[in-house]
Amino acid sequence: MKNERFLEESESTMPRKAWITPKYLGVTAGVFSALVLSLLLGRAFLDRSFAESALVLLTGLALLFPGLYLVRRHGLPWRERQRLETENSHLRQAAEEAELRFQQLFDNAGDAIFFIHPETGAFLDINRRGAQLLGYPGQSITDLPLGELFPGGQRRRYLRLVKKVLRDGYGEVPDLLIRRRDGRLMHGELHARLGDLGKRKVVHCVLRDVSEMHHIEEELRQKNRDLALVNDIAHQAAGSRDAKRMLDGLLGRVLETFAADGGGIFLLRHQGRELHLLVHRGIEEPVLSDMEKMPVGQGLAGRVAASGKPRSSPDLRHDNRVWSESVRQAGWRGYQAVPLVSDQRTVGVLFFFTLEKRIFRREEVRLLLAIGKQLGGAVDSVELYDALQWQHRLTEASNRELEQSRLRLRESLRRMELANRTLEQTERLKSNFITLASHELRTPLTYILSGSELLAGTLRGRLSDEEQNVLRAIHQGGLRLHEIVQDLLDMARIEANACPITRGKVHLPTLLAEVEQEFQTLFRQRNLSFRVTPLPTDEIHGDARQLGKTFHRLVENAVKFTPEGGAIEISGNLLHDRELRLQEAQLRDFSTAFFTRPMLPRFLQLSIRDTGVGIDPAEQVRIFDKFYEIGPPDGHFTSRTSFGGKGVGLGLSLVKGVVEAHGGMTWVESPGTGETLGGSAFHLLLPLDPLPLEGSHEQLTSLSGHSPA
């Protein structure tokens, strides 16, 4: 517009007014009068009469004098005319240069510029940039119909812009589709203003290509839609605790967004070895039966689960990765599958299909991957929630069971406490009975023994053999009963912690030789071998009498449970306290008190081994309880020498009590019952060093009695 205004101003400064001024007319009239006068004079003198010549001359003079008057009054000097012609020439040159500059600016402008007819909207002129932008030569575009440049409804929008400019003087369209010469559509931004081109009104229009900006804006809008979709999916997933319902709703949303004909969601099961179809839409029954379960690594979905990467196919009809042939028969073509990921771990697969061939864009796959991450996290959260709920229910059930167990335990403890009190009371009554019975039996036993001995001495020779046998049986029964009473008294003292022990040096070889001597006759009768291996030490500190009775009881026990032809052996071994600590787990059940008190540094382990019937492991601790008897009671028979004979069940209890009174312990080892299982080994652990005295002196008394049980 500025160039047009400059051109108009240049033309207005040209000397058009000089040609119509009075001065110009006077000069012209004078010259013209002289010319006419000369022509008339020449004509008159050549072929006219004098009168005619005079008339012509007068006419010429009549014309000449006004002309001379006008030349005199209005005529310009010659130099003035030269100056004016020079100025006119300069002005014409300036106008041409201005027009040239305008054309150069018009053609070289950075934007496309059009001159448009304000009535029809036709293109009158276009600059070089406009021609390049649209792909048309400068002149050919003016001949194009508007429908070629503006497809569809865009032509009406263009014409409305022209009318608006004609009405308001200015108008603009931010986004108008324009067809280029090569057929591609361009998004253009138009700014138009009403102006002049010479003497006529035109619409000056500036066009800018905003296709790239439109593409960027469209991408931004698409990304915003994608983000809104992902955010919506995340929101729905976070607010749901039903995995199947949540995934079914989100699957429908995904299928709608991507214009798919159907799809589904697999979840990994069986430690990630198999895919199970949890939800689906648009899948026909024959295909559904084939896809309910799918091994990982098979088919497109299985490959996604195995690799954690998306898989797609533009046309399943020509894809050999298809898992089921029914998919092709159902008309599936375009296919896309993405993993459901949670903490970089694949938990499932999302897939959908189309019935038309389709190539999925990279942006679509990226969006699906983002959706897969949201769904994977949601699935993981729901499954974790279900697991927590299940664990919570289990915990509640366990708590109820625990509460019931507590009630039962409380009741059991109450009953146990009652039973313990009853047992303690019974034990006290039994101990009291044993003590009282023992004391009460000693007097009549003394009478029986004394009477039988008196009768045997007084009536010797006067009694028959049968009567003598009866008298001997009475005397032997009294002795046996006396031994039992003595054992009962010893057991009562041990339980009352009133078992006095005489501390002194004990020579073990002598003590063991005496025991062997006592059983020598029985060894010969039963054909039993007896051997004492060399001991690591000959002396210990203790009560020789009590230890002798202890060895006697153990050898007697070995004799009773070793068949004829068997062997009995006594051996010894030195042990230190640290070695015993290593065996605490195996020995603690035999004597808990031994391992709870301070332990002396050195011990002698005496072992009495036999090749007898052995002891079942379940009974090896219980045989040291008083009155405990192995085997059924109906098989009991009393004997001190016969194989399998039994006593009252106090022998091993007395052994344990005496050894523990010496600061030691006793235990048994046996592989089990049966004559071929290796028999038994009873071990006595006795300290080699003297026990520390608890006072200034010990009152030591011996236990009464004659022979062991």
Instruction: Give one DSSP letter per residue of 314-333, joined into a string.
Output: S-GGG-TT-S-HHHHHTT--
Average pLDDT over residues 492-521: 83
The CATH architecture assigned to 361-497 reads: Orthogonal Bundle (1.10)
The CATH architecture assigned to 109-209 reads: 2-Layer Sandwich (3.30)
Distance, in Å, from the CA atom of 522 to the CA atom of 518, rounded to the nearest integer, reads: 8
CATH top class, domain 262-358: alpha beta
- For residue 205, give the nearest of 310, 105, 126 by alpha carbon: 126
Does the pLDDT value for residue 250 go beyond 60? yes
Read off the pTM: 0.42
Distance, in Å, from the CA atom of 85 to the CA atom of 79, rounded to the nearest integer, reads: 10
Distance, in Å, from the CA atom of 330 to the CA atom of 283, rounded to the nearest integer, reads: 9
What's the confidence (pLDDT) of residue 339? 93
Of the chain, the percentage scoring pLDDT greater than 70 comes to 75
> Does residue 445 or residue 527 have the better pLDDT?
527
Does the pLDDT value for residue 12 go beyond 50? no
Length of the chain: 709
Does the pLDDT value for residue 611 go beyond 50? yes
What's the confidence (pLDDT) of residue 337? 92
Distance, in Å, from the CA atom of 302 to the CA atom of 308, rounded to the nearest integer, reads: 10
Does the pLDDT value for residue 606 go beyond 90? yes
- For residue 562, give the nearest of 428, 680, 709 by alpha carbon: 680
Residue spans of the domains in the chain: they are 2-99, 109-209, 262-358, 361-497, 499-687
State the pLDDT confidence band at 65, using cuts at 50, 70 and 90.
low
What's the confidence (pLDDT) of residue 697? 35
Average pLDDT over residues 513-531: 90
> Does residue 500 or residue 135 have the better pLDDT?
135
What is the identity of the amino acid at 395?
T
Distance, in Å, from the CA atom of 109 to the CA atom of 206, rounded to the nearest integer, reads: 10
Across 461-566, where does the E strand assignment appear?
504-507, 529-532, 539-542
**Residue 442: which H helix or E strand, with range?**
helix 362-458
State the pLDDT confidence band at 533, using cuts at 50, 70 and 90.
very high
State the pLDDT confidence band at 684, using cuts at 50, 70 and 90.
very high
Average pLDDT over residues 238-243: 69
Does the pLDDT value for residue 163 go beyond 50? yes
Distance, in Å, from the CA atom of 531 to the CA atom of 552, rounded to the nearest integer, reads: 14
Residue 606 contacts by C-beta under 8 Å, 6 or more apart in sequence? 508, 535, 570, 571, 572, 683, 684, 686
What is the identity of the amino acid at 561?
F
Instruction: Encode pLDDT of 651-681 as tens digits.
Output: 888 888 889 888 899 999 988 765 455 789 9
The CATH architecture assigned to 499-687 reads: 2-Layer Sandwich (3.30)
**Residue 294: which H helix or E strand, with range?**
strand 293-295
pLDDT averaged over every residue in the chain? 78
Of the chain, the percentage scoring pLDDT greater than 90 comes to 13
Average pLDDT over residues 604-615: 89
What's the confidence (pLDDT) of residue 38? 57
Instruction: Encode pLDDT of 386-419 as tens digits.
Output: 778 888 888 888 888 888 888 988 888 888 888 8
Helices (H), 239-293: 243-257, 285-291
State the pLDDT confidence band at 636, using cuts at 50, 70 and 90.
very low
What's the confidence (pLDDT) of residue 58? 61
> Does residue 232 or residue 331 have the better pLDDT?
331
CB 680, CB 619: distance < 8 Å: no
**Residue 29: which H helix or E strand, with range?**
helix 22-47
Average pLDDT over residues 314-320: 88
The rounded Cα 614 to chain-centroid distance in angstroms is 58
Beta bridge partners of 667: 683
What's the confidence (pLDDT) of residue 233? 73
- 323 C-beta neighbours (distance < 10 Å), count: 16
Does the pLDDT value for residue 66 go beyond 70? no
Residue 524 contacts by C-beta under 8 Å, 6 or more apart in sequence? none
Does the pLDDT value for residue 540 go beyond 70? yes
What's the confidence (pLDDT) of residue 703? 35
Average pLDDT over residues 184-193: 89
> Does residue 194 or residue 451 have the better pLDDT?
194
Least confident stretch, 63-67, 91-95, 368-372 = 63-67
> Does residue 688 or residue 452 have the better pLDDT?
688
- 646 C-beta neighbours (distance < 10 Å), count: 19
The torsion of the CA quartet 360, 362, 368, 373, rounded to 10 degrees, works out to 150
What's the confidence (pLDDT) of residue 704? 34
The rounded Cα 535 to chain-centroid distance in angstroms is 67
The number of CA neighbours under 13 Å toward the Cβ of 517 is: 7
Q: Name the phi and psi angles at 695, rounded to 5.
A: -150, -165
Average pLDDT over residues 290-304: 88
Would the CATH topology of 361-497 be identical to that of 499-687?
Answer: no
Does the pLDDT value for residue 303 go beyond 70? yes
Average pLDDT over residues 4-30: 47
Q: Name the phi and psi angles at 603, rounded to 5.
A: -140, 155
Does the pLDDT value for residue 171 go beyond 70? yes
Distance, in Å, from the CA atom of 3 to the CA atom of 99, rounded to the nearest integer, reads: 7
What's the confidence (pLDDT) of residue 607? 93
What the block records as the tokens of 64 is 């000449």
